[in-house]
Amino acid sequence: MTESVRDEFAAFGLVVEVEEAGEVIHPVAACNWQSLTAFLACDTQWRVVGVGLGGMIWIGLDYTACDVVFRRGHFADQAWDDVRVMEEAALPILNSGEE
């Protein structure tokens, strides 16, 4: 697992533990793999609004930009429904203000 992928998980409050001998692997069921990779492929497509001195409110994914990601990445339509569920789950975490 690369450092950037580990940081992406951390942005959603998920900690990937690393052991001395190697990484602890948290497997993803094969039926969920495309949905997860689609969600991660859209990770730069969040809409945010700046508030105050350095604060941000995460609004949600930019669906127009995500449509391009889906078409170029050849993701199945079913993955879109799953991405929206993950988006809904991620927003309260992103807007919690906790780091």
Q: 21-32 pLDDT, tens per residue?
A: 566 666 788 888
Sign of the Cα torsion 80, 59, 93, 45 reads positive
The answer to the question of residue 18 being in a domain is no
The answer to the question of residue 14 being in a domain is no
The answer to the question of residue 10 being in a domain is no
The answer to the question of residue 12 being in a domain is no
Cβ-contact 82, 32 below 8 angstroms: yes
The answer to the question of residue 59 being in a domain is yes
Say which residue, 5 or 84, is predicted with more confidence: 84
Q: pTM above 0.85? A: no
Phi, psi of 8 (to 5 degrees): -65, -45
The answer to the question of residue 46 being in a domain is yes
Say which residue, 25 or 86, is predicted with more confidence: 86
Residue span of the structural domain in which 75 resides: 29-94
Cα→Cα distances 73→47, 49, 68, Å: 20, 27, 8
The answer to the question of residue 99 being in a domain is no
Has residue 20 got a pLDDT over 60?
no
Q: What is the mean pLDDT of the chain?
A: 85
pLDDT (mean) for 10-26: 66
Structural domain count of the chain: 1
pLDDT (mean) for 30-39: 91
In the numeric block, which tokens belong to residue 54?
């350095």
